[in-house]
Amino acid sequence: MNAISPIPMRHRSADTDFPRGWYCIAESENVSADKMLPVSWLGQELIVYRTKDGKAQATDAYCPHLGAHLASHDGKLCEGRITCPFHKWEFDSATGKVEHIPYTDVPVPASVRLTLHPTRESDGMVLIWHDPAGGKPTFEPFDSSALRGDGEWIRYAVHSWEMTCPFRDILENIFDTAHVTQLHNAAALPEITSFEPQDYGLRVQYTTDPDAGEATPIRGFEMNLSGISLLTQYYDGIHFTGLFVISFTPVDEERVVQTARLYLKDNGNREMMDQIGRAFIDRFCFEVEQDLKVLDYKKHLTQPRLCAGDGPIMKFRNYAAQFYA
């Protein structure tokens, strides 16, 4: 195996900001109404919590008064109010408004408030809107509840990877047909049966040959992309129904975290589900790690020299371009 040192992103991509879209900043289960969760994403320090009525909300972590990190020292969230640890100003957690300053009755201008980010919750993730131009959300994220239906689902596994691939090229990998056989040695190439733009992004449907010799045979799968930062894959397997919920969130200019959550529909046979889940997640992780051996060093070529058999790479690029300024 070859070994190369990390290569700075500026040598591999001309992008100076992240694309417009919804980014996962926390798992729903980790966000509560009595504790601020400090997180660092998209080169920003944020806190995430729930408002009094249970809505997930993200705000800038720094107090507008004098810049204390709200979740430092004894900063607290209680009864819908955030108290800054430094001079104990209190803020409404839902609106960001200053509610109380313990040492003065002279009001501060209404513009002095917490910086709230548009926040949503979908498929077990807390998402914030990012637009380099500061615009409001232009679409809502995809939610897979209609696909999941009423049955019981089990969150079987969660895996995260830190990667250094140019952000533009991460999802392009899915449409790079030739690497599926050449890098991954996959037994069968799935066939795209539809490729349809949606309000939230893109829906792509695939059929596969269940007799191709894969360990977990499937008839096909449906992929839904919200912008280019969220992806769900719904699998119609021979002995199982599965759903991957995958997010891609930049930490800063150099690093992106990919998190994949595998859900399996409860078919009553835990032993079988466990066997299938294990085989499925092992194959998935193996392929991600294979990809990263190449993606983490690659450059985004604006004019790649493609040939027959490369797959709908340019079709994906045309779709992805709308999320960049």
CB 253 within 8 A of CB 43: yes
User: Do residues 157 and 42 touch, judged by C-beta distance below 8 A?
Assistant: no
DSSP class of residue 43 equals T
Residue 68 or 257 with smaller CB distance to ligand FES: 68
Choose the one of Fe ion, ligand FES, none that binds residue 87, judging by a C-beta under 5 to 8 angstroms depending on kind: ligand FES
| Distance (Å, whole) CA 157 – CA 169 | 25
The yes or no reply on residue 169 touching Fe ion (CB under 5 A) is no
Contacts of ligand FES in 52-81 (CB under 6 A): 63, 65-68
84 part of the interface to ligand FES, by CB under 6 A: yes
What is the rounded distance in angstroms from the CA atom of residue 291 to the CA atom of residue 282? 14
- Closest approach, Cβ 89 to ligand FES, in A, equals 4
Beta carbon nearer to Fe ion, 27 or 310: 310
CB of 236 to ligand FES, least distance (A): 52
The rounded distance, in Å, linking the Cα atoms of 201 and 222 is 13
Q: Quick check: 296 binds Fe ion (CB under 5 A)?
A: no
Instruction: Supply angle C-alpha 168, 286, 242, rounded to 5.
Output: 85
Q: Which does 306 bind (CB under 5 to 8 A by kind): Fe ion, ligand FES, none?
A: none
Q: How far is the CB of 84 from ligand FES (least distance, A)?
A: 3
Strands of 98-100's sheet, edge to edge? 76-78, 81-83, 90-92, 98-100
- Tell me which of Fe ion, ligand FES, none is bound by residue 291, counting a contact when its beta carbon lies within the kind-specific cut-off of 5 to 8 angstroms: Fe ion
The nearer residue to ligand FES, 42 or 82, going by C-beta atoms, is: 82
Looking at 70, 291, 296, 311, which residue binds Fe ion (CB under 5 A)? 291
By the rule CB under 6 A, 87 interacts with ligand FES = yes
List Cβ neighbours of 194 (8 Å cut-off, separation of 6 or more).
Answer: 203, 204, 205
Residue 313 engages ligand FES in binding (rule: CB under 6 A): no
Cα angle 34, 38, 44 (rounded to 5 degrees) comes to: 140
C-alpha 164/C-alpha 168 separation (Å) is 11
Is the CB of residue 203 less than 8 Å from the CB of residue 224? Answer: yes
CB of 162 to Fe ion, least distance (A): 17
Closest CB to ligand FES among 83 and 144? 83
* CA quadruple 279, 283, 284, 286: dihedral sign: positive
Residue 68 binds which entry of Fe ion, ligand FES, none, CB below 5-8 Å type-dependent: ligand FES
What does the binding site for Fe ion look like in residue numbers (CB under 5 A)? 173, 291
What does the binding site for ligand FES look like in residue numbers (CB under 6 A)? 63, 65-68, 84, 86-87, 89
